[in-house]
Amino acid sequence: MKEFVHEWLPQRVVFCTNTSDVQIVKKIRQEEYERVMVMASEFEMDLAQRIAKDLPVVHWFDDVRMHVTVDAIERALEEARRVNADVLVSVGGGSTTGLAKAIALETNLPIIAVPTTYAGSEATNVWGRTADSVKTTGKSSRVLPRVVLYDAALTVSLPVEMSVASGLNGIAHGVDSLWAPNANPFNTVLAIESVGALADGIRKIRQEPDNLEARTDALYGTYLAGVAFAAAGSGMHHKICHVLGGMYDLPHAQTHSVILPYVLAFNSGHIPAIEQRLADVLSAPSALEGLEELRSELSAPRALHDYGFAPDMIPRVVDAVLKAVPENNPRPVTAPDITRLLELASEGGDPRELQTTLERSYGS
């Protein structure tokens, strides 16, 4: 085993099916918070009201947008300051958690996060913001939620299609962490476990969306994948998705679902031992076959053109991706590689075709 460093992030994680309203009251009283700003998009506000009904709420903020834009941050920041909030309670997916993080970065306000998707932002100290079509990310201990309440009952309303895409976003955190800049043996264990739990969870959710056990499995996998990702950093997969999301406002979870098999096809031959563990947890002869089988069983998002991505957008993305891809990616990345990857992802082509192209170009 090589030398390595793993940083554990300090946070209290509570799994509490159907009791997040009770748990949150307990926490708010314990910490003596008196001025709660609840953040939830207008679509999740009813869930937020269910949970936060007994809290000393000074403001219900619902102006949440995807990709945490600078103007959304300004509006939320202004409100948090105006009402003199002493804690932020975010109820929702990664967009809501992300906006709360942006406020915490500026104000140092603590966050209690109640996630309702499988994006996993609550498990990381990573913040993101989008300005002029460029998404910037950074790390700060200020943005790590102090408490995370995972209540599977709050995720039952997440539509099956969104649950599938979001679950694959969670899986992408685990898989990308296997080759990300600070990948290490701890996060490999977390990542492999996360992929197994999320794959089982979303398979069951597809069959039975109200199944709380399946929803809890998916949240368990979400958290582990988020922890692995936070420790390892963004790998090639996340860099591609961030460029696409920032530049063309593509939907986050669906973009991850489309891109992952191509990055796996690109990298997997260069990490044979880890690839085998991924294959085993997906019960398939190879990791790529396992992921492809899962995606087809789930009818997961397959093609970027379904979300408005066109081939003429590829060159601009290639330039930005090349600047962002980590130097220690298991195999070197060139402009023709990314171009071919995006051509295939755009049309939803077979990821194995990427391997064929690479073999023809490089002989491996």
Where does this chain bind ligand NAD (CB under 6 A)? 41, 43-44, 66-68, 92-96, 98, 116-117, 119-121, 124, 126, 128, 154-155, 157-158, 162, 166, 169, 252-253
Between residues 94 and 326, which has the closer beta carbon with respect to ligand NAD? Answer: 94
The least distance separating ligand NAD from the CB of residue 221, rounded to whole angstroms, comes to: 14
Between residues 64 and 80, which has the closer beta carbon with respect to ligand NAD? Answer: 64
Structure tokens at 329: 């990616």
For CA atoms 329, 9, 245, 209, the dihedral sign is: positive
Q: What is the DSSP string of 118-157?
A: S--GGG--EEEEEETTEEEEEE-GGGS-SEEEE-GGGGTT
The least distance separating ligand NAD from the CB of residue 169, rounded to whole angstroms, comes to: 6
The least distance separating ligand NAD from the CB of residue 130, rounded to whole angstroms, comes to: 8
Between residues 94 and 174, which has the closer beta carbon with respect to ligand NAD? Answer: 94
The least distance separating ligand NAD from the CB of residue 15, rounded to whole angstroms, comes to: 16
Between residues 112 and 288, which has the closer beta carbon with respect to ligand NAD? Answer: 112
In the complex, which residue's CB is closest to ligand NAD? 94
CA separation for the pair 245, 255 (Å, rounded): 8
Q: Which element (helix H / strand E) includes 347?
A: helix 335-347
The least distance separating ligand NAD from the CB of residue 119, rounded to whole angstroms, comes to: 3
CA separation for the pair 115, 216 (Å, rounded): 12
Q: Which 3 state secondary structure label does DSSP give 104? A: helix
Q: Which of 44, 142, 344 is nearest to 52 (CA)?
A: 44
Phi/psi at 60 (5° precision): -105, 110
Between residues 48 and 341, which has the closer beta carbon with respect to ligand NAD? Answer: 48
